[in-house]
Structure 1
Amino acid sequence: MSRQPDLAQRIVARFVPDATNVLDRRTRNAYGLLSSLSCIVLNVLLCFVKGVAGMLAGSVSIVADALNNLSDASSNVVSLLGFKLASRPADEQHPYGHGRYEYLAGVVVAVLVVAVGLQLARQSVEKILAPSPTEFGWLSAAALLLSIAVKAWMARFNHRLGARIDSTVLEATSQDSRNDVITTSAVLLAALVSALTEVDLDGWAGLGVSAFIMVSGIGLLRDTIDPLMGNTPSEELVARVHAKIVGYPGVLGAHDLLIHDYGPGHRFASAHVEMAADTSVRASHHVLDRIEDDLLREEGLRTVLHCDPIDVHNGPNDLRNWVEGRLGEIDGNLSVHDVTYVPQSRENGSQLVRLDCWRPDGLEVSDDELRRHIEDIVHERHPGATVQITIDTGFISPAE
């Protein structure tokens, strides 16, 4: 028996044309529009219902929870603007597109979350210092239970949308909704305890809610700033791209892989691809073109590949393995590439060896010490040779 689509799937099918083409900026904008408008309507509704219930009960924690929903609606407006601006095509001033607007929207959402937490903390402290009677009744309980149910659905809905289009903004929205489920549950529990024991926990509950919101907001802020700062891509993506490059016929290896993130759907990559030196330029170019096309189609990566010719018969390839094997005595992650051996250079008539060395983060040996060590290793094979060494750092995929 076929499985019937759930509510979220039916909503997506109704409002998102071409829903599976998640790399297209128009599709991403449609997902963002759907999420933002749905959340704005629901958050405004919850704010009204809990606001009325909180004022009738004289509960600062319920009113604070209602204001939190109003803040969420403001965050949803920011998210909507972020998706709209991010969907704009590249122009002369922004050749890599406007995708990072989505990340900026996430930063603003996180800041708003922290600001709401601070405001709630102030109101809660005032309630603790100057207690006022709280009349908790069925209306308050119903409003809080409704909020928990709606927020739980919103968290799941936005998580699914965010996972489908790989959106930090929607994931932040989902996390905020999950936080609201926890905080509203805490408010409900405190209200029940207060009603049953006549111990007024309203202000303390509001203070706990505000602390939770602020901690969550700071976490969201960190997560949304990371992409703007150029954080390392996921290990899964790096491994997948590297494996795809080296999997093509004629490719001997790949190194210096860099992936630049200019926003969802706006990722660029570059890498050096090692191929046999006796392969024709036309044949090598054809293979690299195929790799670039496939990475664009399958991963959404606009890639530029550089061909490194490798002499597979003698000389440089043996020297590379020799140097790399000896460097393993220092650190097994050290690797070399772009090894060139010139028996008689034009510069001074002596032997010349050029190579790049990739060093991992945290290596205690300095660059100068590493260069001297490599020179000593090369001179064991080629005494008196001039050795030119480039130290690579920061690349996300070393040579193999």
Structure 2
Amino acid sequence: MEDRFSAGKKVASLGIAVNILLLIFKLTAGYSAGSQAMIADGFNSLGDVFASAVTLFGSLYAAKPKDADHVWGHGKAEYLASMIIGFSMIAMAVYTISGSVGSLIEQSTLEFSWWLVGVAAVTIAAKASLYAFCIKKNRQYKSVLIKANAQDHRNDVFVTSGTLIAIFLSVLGFHWVDGAIGIAISCWIIYSGFMIIRESARVLMDTGSDARTLEEYKDEILRIDGVDHIDSVSTKPVGAKIILIVKVSVDKDMTVIESHKIAKAIELEMMHDRAEIDDVIVHINPDLPHV
């Protein structure tokens, strides 16, 4: 887990540095040329700086070891941080929509500028590189924070590509496209924010594993000698991992020691080669007639 959180810190630190530079370039170019699409893109980079900072602090806190007050560790800090990122994306997008709507109402014109084209091209290249880096790290460590950053960088590639289209269309006199793309950019950011919030909320609200995964767990448990039948199997997320809660019935005449051995066998079997399981809690019931 230490490598996982170290990867999150690397992703965050790189994101902060790159996004600060892009923020300066975009807002300078956007306000100079009067491009609402570029200004919206610039404020999106401001949100990216905040998101990377939240990722950094979230990774640092989530990496803290278990203690008396957090017996399952601090892993959910990742999901709290990613939820904050989602809300910040939505707030920033709502703000930029107002400027784009105003541009359409006032029928503002956009002056073509190679400076705008250059900033957009550099942004696309930088964000594509960051996206590739984050995806590589997410495949290694399955971190919701790294995944949220990857999605954010991917969105920026599409967003800035839209800005670039608006810049070239302004040459043909389609100045309204700039405001329209600014609105589209903001709507895309809002959608992405909601998706990040939804994924984080599933863990924070203790949403268990899907039915297919639970069936796989049940099949594995039933292969263990001494298990008469399964009463229930459920999971509780604790950060990136889960606690597996198992209730099984055994022979009612079995000794406590024998039933304990079965419980231990279930624990060892389910934690063997399953990185997603942090702990297994087994409750033994006597196999009594069901009423």
1:33 to 1:297, Cα distance in 2 relative to 1, 3 A: farther
Using a 3 Å threshold, how does the CA distance of structure 1 residues 198 and 100 change in structure 2: closer, same or farther? closer
Question: What is the alpha-carbon distance in structure 1 between the residues aligned to residue 174 and residue 245 of structure 2?
Answer: 66
**Quick one: which of 262, 276, 283 aligns to 1:306?**
283
Q: Which amino acid aligns with 1:172?
A: A
Q: Is residue 59 of structure 2 the alignment partner of residue 118 of structure 1?
A: no
- Percent of residue pairs bearing the same amino acid type: 28
The answer as to 2:206 corresponding to 1:218 is no
What's the C-alpha RMSD, in Å, of the aligned pairs?
2.2
Q: Which has the higher contact order (CA 8 A, sep 6+)?
A: 2
Give the 5 Å matches for 1:22-33. Answer: 24=1, 26-33=2-9
8 Å contact kept, 2:23–2:42: yes
Q: Is the 8 A contact 2:246 2:283 kept in 1?
A: yes
Contact 2:77 2:239 in 1 (8 A): yes
Q: Which moved more, 1:78-87 or 1:291-300?
A: 291-300
- Please tell me the residue identity of whatever aligns with 2:279: R
2: CA distance, partners of 1:76 / 1:223? 18
The answer to whether 1:178 aligns with 2:141 is no
Looking at structure 2, the residues matched to 198 and 292 of structure 1 have their Cα atoms a distance apart, in angstroms, of: 65
Which residue matches 2:267?
A: 292
Q: Which secondary structure does the structure 1 equivalent of 2:273 belong to?
A: helix
Which of these two proteins has the greater Rg computed from alpha carbons? Answer: 1
**Could you list the per-position Cα deviations for residues 36-61 of structure 1 after superposition, in whole angstroms to 9, with x for gaps in the alignment?**
11211221222222233323322121
Instruction: Say if 2:239 is the partner of 1:269.
Output: no
1:253/1:158 CA distance change after superposition, 3 Å: farther
Residues 1:74 and 2:33 are matched in the alignment = no
Alignment gaps of 5+ in structure 2: none
Q: Which amino acid aligns with 1:308?
A: N
Alpha-carbon displacement from aligned partner over 1:103-129 (angstroms, at most 9, x marks no partner): 110110000000111111011122223
Give the equivalent residue in structure 1 for 2:19: 43
Match of 2:219 in 1: 243
CA distance in 2, matches of 1:239, 1:41: 45
C-alpha separation between the residues in 1 aligned to 2:31 and 2:54?
A: 28
**What is the distance in 1 between the residues matched to 2:79 and 2:272?**
24
Change in Cα spacing, 1:68 to 1:284, as seen in structure 2 (3 Å) is same
CA contact (8 A) 1:295 1:301 kept: no
**Could you tell me how far apart the structure 2 residues matched to 1:146 and 1:309 are?**
67
Q: Aligned residue pairs: how many? A: 289
Question: Structure 1 161/255 Cα, relative in aligned 2: closer, same or farther at 3 Å?
Answer: farther
Q: Which runs of 5+ in 1 are unaligned?
A: 1-23, 311-338, 341-354, 356-386, 388-400
Matched AA of 1:167: S
With the length of structure 2 as denominator, give the TM-score of the two structures.
Answer: 0.90
Q: Name the counterpart of 1:99.
A: 75
Contact 1:86-1:98 within 8 A present in 2 as well: yes
> For 1:216 and 1:56, how far apart are their aligned partners in 2?
29
* Contact residue 207 and residue 236 of structure 2 kept, 8 A: no
Note the 1:134-149 alignment, pairs <5 A. 134-149=110-125
Once the two structures are superposed, the pairs formed by residues 1-400 of structure 1 within 5 Å of their partners are 24=1, 26-265=2-241, 267-277=242-252, 279-299=254-274, 300-310=277-287, 339-340=288-289, 355=290, 387=291
Does 103-112 or 118-127 show the bigger shift?
118-127
